Amino acid sequence: MIAEFNPFHNGHEYLLTQAKKVTHADVLVVLMSGNFLQRGEPAIVDKWQRTKEALNGQADLVIELPIYVSMQAAHLFAQGAVQMASQIHSDYLVFGSEHPNLDFNVLAAEAKKISLNTSTYSQSFAGQLFSALYEKTEINLHTANDILAFNYFYANQSLTKPMALMPIKRHEADHADATFKGMHFASSSAIRKARLAHNDVFTHFVPKQTAIDLMGQLVSWNDLWPYLKYRLLTASLAELRTIYGCSEGIEYRLKTVAPKSTSFEVFLQSLKTKRYTYTHLQRLCLAIALNLKKDQMRGQVPVYRVLGFNRKGQTYLHKLKEFDIPVLSKIGQKENAVGYQSTYQADQIYGLLTQKEQNIGRKPIISL
């Protein structure tokens, strides 16, 4: 399973339970984003807390998606995560979807035939692709998990040995729902919004461990905004051009808008144009705040950082080592594994926000 768990809620626990039920899997491995996420935002609680939540909720082994996978546009996120899942010899890939009955395999095959005009600024690349796909199939992919499902199938078709992909229906709440509509399930967005507004209703929609974690220290873009503004005020245009995602002269707009902005929300609204989605801009802003250069986010060979496991997961870890998979269980004071430097660098900033070390001396969470 590929996941963010931001935070881990009842819907995720249901999904993990269903994954074991429909696949009869010997072991359930979760490839989970670390402290920074696909939509260009910090996780509300850190990767260690979310790992513990996942292990309590049916996961057997939690492996971290490195930042050069986790902080990408949907098609690159899916491509990197699917490749990592395949390399650890996964038979199935299970994920939530708003419309699991869609024939994503056919949609992905049709998409490969589409040629796009990348010189136009009237739509984002993804917007152009899905508009063209709608013209061919009359199927409108617009919900977040359906778009990810499509990208998982698209990436899976390129594998030498494709996995069996199994989308599972989301219940009561869609990914983007910002309010509580059901009695047991709610979106991560609604849960985060309620918690940040000090509305305890969110506790009805999360397991006990998540509720405990969410009553502690939280992280949001409000915490990261001063770091971003400092970088924009002090970095030169040439320095900004080296940052991943900074292209087409947007560095001039960044430098113009930053001094006048009093919050990240105001800054993002002032920065928005037709060419770029909010999530694209958030990813760019995150790359600037974390000082992630273009070469740090491209062409990296993934390392499998183990965040936690139970007895079944421990047994499977031994098999991964037999397969010569680059497994990383801990990071020492004087060493930083090849393929993990970018994630380590980003985690140092997250550690500044939480005042908690994220890597050195941290061992996998064990639930035996």
- CA-to-CA distance for 296 and 336, rounded, in angstroms? 14
**Total residues belonging to the chain:** 368
Any binding-site annotation on 3?
A: yes
Any binding-site annotation on 259?
A: no
Rounded to the nearest angstrom, the gap between the alpha carbon of residue 254 and the centroid of all alpha carbons in its chain is 24
Residue type (1 letter), 269: Q
Q: Does domain 2-214 have CATH number 3.40.50.620?
A: yes
- CA-to-CA distance for 80 and 11, rounded, in angstroms? 24
Any binding-site annotation on 66?
A: no
Taking a C-beta distance cutoff of 8 angstroms, is the pair 35, 48 a contact? no
Any binding-site annotation on 10?
A: yes
Any binding-site annotation on 35?
A: no
DSSP element (H, E) containing 143: none
Taking a C-beta distance cutoff of 8 angstroms, is the pair 312, 60 a contact? yes
pLDDT value for 173 = 56
Any binding-site annotation on 198?
A: no
Any binding-site annotation on 2?
A: yes
Taking a C-beta distance cutoff of 8 angstroms, is the pair 269, 226 a contact? no
Any binding-site annotation on 340?
A: no
- Torsion, Cα 14 16 17 23, to 10 degrees, reads 130
pLDDT value for 118 = 54
How does DSSP assign 25-84, residue by residue? -S--EEEEE-SB-TTS-B-SS-HHHHHHHHHHTT-SEEEEEPHHHHTS-HHHHHHHHHHH
pLDDT tens series, the chain, 368 aa: 999 999 999 999 999 999 999 999 999 999 999 999 999 999 999 999 999 999 999 999 999 999 999 999 999 999 999 999 999 999 999 999 989 999 999 999 988 888 766 555 455 667 778 888 878 887 888 888 899 999 999 999 999 999 999 999 987 555 555 566 667 899 999 999 999 999 999 999 999 999 999 999 999 999 999 999 999 999 999 999 999 999 999 999 999 999 999 999 999 999 998 888 899 999 999 999 999 999 999 988 888 999 999 999 999 999 998 888 889 988 875 556 678 999 999 999 999 999 999 999 899 999 98
> What is the 3-class SS of 193-217, one letter each residue?
HHHHCCCHHHHHHCCHHHHHHHCCC
Residue type (1 letter), 214: L
Nearest to 28 by CA among 69, 63, 71, 74: 63
DSSP assignment letter at 360: B
Any binding-site annotation on 6?
A: yes
Sort strands 304-310 and 327-328 into parallel, antiparallel or unpaired: parallel
DSSP element (H, E) containing 333: none
**Residue 174 DSSP SS3:** coil
Taking a C-beta distance cutoff of 8 angstroms, is the pair 244, 36 a contact? no
Residues paired with residue 367 on neighbouring β-strands, in sequence order:
310
Any binding-site annotation on 98?
A: no
Any binding-site annotation on 56?
A: no
The answer to whether the pTM exceeds 0.85 is yes
Any binding-site annotation on 170?
A: yes
How does DSSP assign 98-131, residue by residue? S-TTS-HHHHHHHHTT----TT--SS-HHHHHHH
Looking at the chain, the domain(s) classified CATH 3.40.50.620 span 2-214
Taking a C-beta distance cutoff of 8 angstroms, is the pair 53, 5 a contact? yes
Taking a C-beta distance cutoff of 8 angstroms, is the pair 104, 167 a contact? yes
Largest CA distance in the chain: 56
Residue 362, classified by CB atoms within 10 Å of its CB into exposed (0-12), middle (13-18) or buried (19+), is: middle
Number of CB atoms found within 10 A of residue 123's CB: 16
Pair of tokens at residue 234: 């002090």
Any binding-site annotation on 316?
A: no
Any binding-site annotation on 4?
A: yes
- CA-to-CA distance for 303 and 88, rounded, in angstroms? 11
DSSP element (H, E) containing 170: none
Any binding-site annotation on 130?
A: no
Angle, alpha carbons 336-338-343 (nearest 5°): 65
